[in-house]
Structure 1
Amino acid sequence: MKKNVFSTMAKYATSVTIALTIVACNTNPDESVDETKNKLHEDPARMELVLTEVNSAQSWEELSKTGKLVTSNTNANNEKQNTQTISYETQIGKGWVISPNSASKFVVSSTKQSTVDNKLLTVPVYTLAIKYYNNKGELMNYQFLTNGQDAIHQHFFQLPKNNPVIVNGKEDSTLKAENLIDYLYADTDFKDGSFIGSTNPIGLNGIIRFLVPKANYTLRVELFHGYIGKKDPRTQAFSPFYHPSPLMIQTGTWDVQVNIPIEVK
């Protein structure tokens, strides 16, 4: 009888050990998690990228400090007609595709530095607004700015693999995203409207300039969703717009990835 009791207790202890081992394994932070069940925002069903040409009354350096764009009088009356919009939507089995009746590419002018009244200006620059909509057609940008979501989301602008950069009709494999564009995060605080682009880059609003004339290429726009933040885990620094930290990528996922054809005059 005593032997049976000890045998039963041994089996029970073994079962508990196995159960605890399984629980311990399931709490491993390195194990994959279904983030779609833990997100505090909806998955976008449609997005718009709105690009507006602006004649800036500032230098790029001034813009970098304030994120506030001051336009010159020559552009004030023409801003509306210089706006281009590309729309994307999700389709089952295809992912993100260009919406019907949408523009298929952005056609832009390269930026030049000019001196007006002894002041160095950057002309033209472009504002880039990214708008997300849910499957009901409702604007949902606020969902990336509230409930702590601003601390784990950031847009990046890169060149996709196997997409050539053509300059003056010839392929140039030496150019990278940071050689082709300059981008400033121009986001503002959801509550008080203060500039947060340099301290909390998100990319729902930004300022962009195109550096290389007579160029054709594809720009990949990506929205990063971090599991534990959007800073490099090692350096605790934000990544530049053109190069998300490899370590950061390992601790997150991409909410959105779309390719935008660019033609620079």
Structure 2
Amino acid sequence: MKQILTPLKGLFTSLIIGTALVACSKEAPAPTDEKIDKGHEEPAKVEMTIRRGHLHGVQFHGDFESIIAPVQKFKFEIDENTKNWVRKDMQGNILTENNPVVMIEGRYYSLEIVYYNAKGERMNNEFTTKEMLPIHQHFFEVYEYTDTKTQQVSKDTEGLLEYTYRDTDPENIQIGQLVDSKQSTDRSKLTDNPLGLKGYFGPKKPYTKYNIAVTLFHVLRGTKNVNNQERVFYPFNKPGSELVARSTTDFSQKIPVYVITAVPDGGEEAKNRYYQDIADYYKITPQRVEELEDEARRNHDSANFYM
């Protein structure tokens, strides 16, 4: 009898262990630690392109490019030794605060941000998926500015500049352009969810210098919405302490800006001041500035960049 029970006992034990293993295998997977697996790759390079332009309603239209309205393009790359981000021109030369983005009060400036992974592949689409879009948003903050006439520093940055989100779906197609001319008549359209891969600035105070802190927030809990309220988002320059508390950042760097003058508000004196300010910065004559502005007016329709 003992000999019969022993193998049965062993079989019974095996069944218990097997059942336990099956039960364990059906347990819910452990939650993803977003500090380890964020749902997207880590950026290795970030390119930024800034264009001067004007508005048609709320649509940005690029100006005719010239010495005084150049495309300002630069990149951020990780330094191999320090592992810190470094701002460079497109030839790889390191840029400092002495190489600012130049703006004019009264004009508008588009900003396109393109992220690349370690393989050099564009990865913007990784932030626009249905999982990642609700938890990512760029913010553009200024903490203080210097009045270049008086050299006074002020922390009153309210109203210093404005920014409008102009993200499109798909993200890499200019607004209103065909998504695939061979396959359909669908056109790229604006999204209703602020991300900040595309947008435009409007500087509001001339003769100022400041840094725009560009930060890509990655929300760890909930969504980027204010207190997770549907369709309620934080302003471009005020992420809010509750969002900061439940977020990390995927990218955060500063862009130096110099607003060299203001569009004249009428009269010969204001016009002369405007041309002289631009001439002084670009080291050309006021007459040449006037020629370039006139050329831009005559070639207005040749500029084909829209946002």
CA-CA distance at 1:245 after TM superposition: 1.6
Which secondary structure does the structure 1 equivalent of 2:227 belong to? coil
Residues 178-211 of structure 1: per-residue CA shift (max 9 Å, x gap): 4221100000122862212xx3000000011111
Q: Does 1:101 align with 2:104?
A: no
CA distance in 1 between counterparts of 2:36 and 2:68 reads 40
Letter in 2 for 1:258: Q
Letter in 2 for 1:230: K
CA-CA distance at 1:70 after TM superposition: 4.1
Structure 2 residue ranges without an equivalent (≥5): 1-29, 171-178, 180-186, 261-307
Aligned to 2:71: 83
Residues 23-69 of structure 1: per-residue CA shift (max 9 Å, x gap): xxxx9x9xxx852322111110111111001133x3xxx31xxxx32
Counterparts in 2 of 1:186 and 1:80: CA distance versus 1, 3 Å: farther
Match for 1:171 among 152, 157, 165? Answer: 152
Aligned to 2:60: 69
Aligned to 2:173: none
Aligned to 2:224: 230
Aligned to 2:240: 245
CA-CA distance at 1:81 after TM superposition: 6.0
Count of residue pairs brought into register by the alignment:
207
Q: CA RMSD in A?
A: 2.6
CA distance in 2 between counterparts of 1:260 and 1:132 reads 16
Percent identity for Structure 1 against Structure 2: 31
Aligned to 2:295: none
Structure 1 residue ranges without an equivalent (≥5): 1-26, 112-123
Q: Structure 1 length as normaliser, TM-score?
A: 0.70
Greater displacement, 163-172 / 254-263 = 163-172
Which secondary structure does the structure 2 equivalent of 1:69 belong to? strand
Which secondary structure does the structure 1 equivalent of 2:201 belong to? strand
Counterparts in 2 of 1:219 and 1:91: CA distance versus 1, 3 Å: same
CA distance in 2 between counterparts of 1:137 and 1:102 reads 19
Aligned to 1:194: 189
Q: Does structure 2 retain, via aligned residues, the 8 Å contact 1:153–1:225?
A: yes
Counterparts in 2 of 1:215 and 1:164: CA distance versus 1, 3 Å: closer
Letter in 1 for 2:202: R
Letter in 2 for 1:249: V
Residues 86-125 of structure 1: per-residue CA shift (max 9 Å, x gap): 21112253421113325532011111xxxxxxxxxxxx21
Q: Does 1:184 align with 2:160?
A: no
Aligned to 2:116: 133
CA-CA distance at 1:150 after TM superposition: 1.3
Aligned to 2:46: 47
CA distance in 2 between counterparts of 1:48 and 1:158 reads 19
CA distance in 2 between counterparts of 1:254 and 1:85 reads 23
